[in-house]
A = this chain, B = another copy of it.
């Protein structure tokens, strides 16, 4: 079984023994040799078309996910990471940062912060003087005294403060997933959190076993 999470910028593949990404603008020919069944979810129509052109038998599992929420316009990737969490704040840190709240198995809503890559692009775009070197070794208890720190402090706080405020309100564990999570974990040490690297793939497997392979 090959799992694939198609995002805004990459195909993220997971096989039994490997885990790799391919940019959505790159060719898929180098994985043509993969013979197992591909199961995927996607938030990117164009990239889905390309996958299906190369692997016509790939199965879109989204129709089996059946996640109940009053939220309008929730991406399938957000739905699946939330699906099997009864109580928690689910933070998926990718090109955007989605934050969702689950309470007693019910989805209460969520919000969407810009991803770290987006913040990296935004500053030099405002002014050349705000070009900077990204750094996650910033003490957020000290007021910055140099522009590079001032920008990194702001990026980190812009992401961390809204998430901590949600934690203060709901007091339920945080589940981090998504590659860039590791950059931020050290700032959440006082909070009960779990880093679930494979949250999306593990949830996909559950959906597949319950609805397709288990049948």
A residues whose Cβ falls under 8 Å from a Cβ of B: 8, 43, 69-75, 95-96, 101, 108-115, 118-119, 121-123, 125-127, 129-130, 142-147, 150-151, 153-154, 157-159, 161-162, 165-166
Contact = CB atoms under 8 A, between A and B. Distances in A.
A147 B112 contact: yes
Contact of A158 (B96, B130, B145, B158): B158
B113 A144 contact: no
A167 B123 CA distance: 24
Given A43-B127, A115-B126, A121-B125, 11 more contacts: A74-B147, A75-B129, A95-B126, A109-B142, A109-B145, A111-B150, A112-B130, A112-B154, A113-B154, A122-B122, A158-B162
As for how many copies of this chain the complex holds, the number is: 2
* 5 closest residue pairs by CB, A with B: A109-B143, A161-B161, A158-B158, A73-B147, A157-B162
A185 B74 CA distance: 30
Contacts of A162: 154, 157-158, 161
B154 A165 contact: no
A213 B124 CA distance: 38
8 contacts: A73-B129, A73-B146, A95-B126, A96-B130, A101-B143, A114-B119, A114-B123, A121-B125
A114 B143 contact: no
A119 to B, nearest CB: 8
Given A157-B161, A158-B159, A110 B150 contact: yes
A114 B118 CA distance: 11
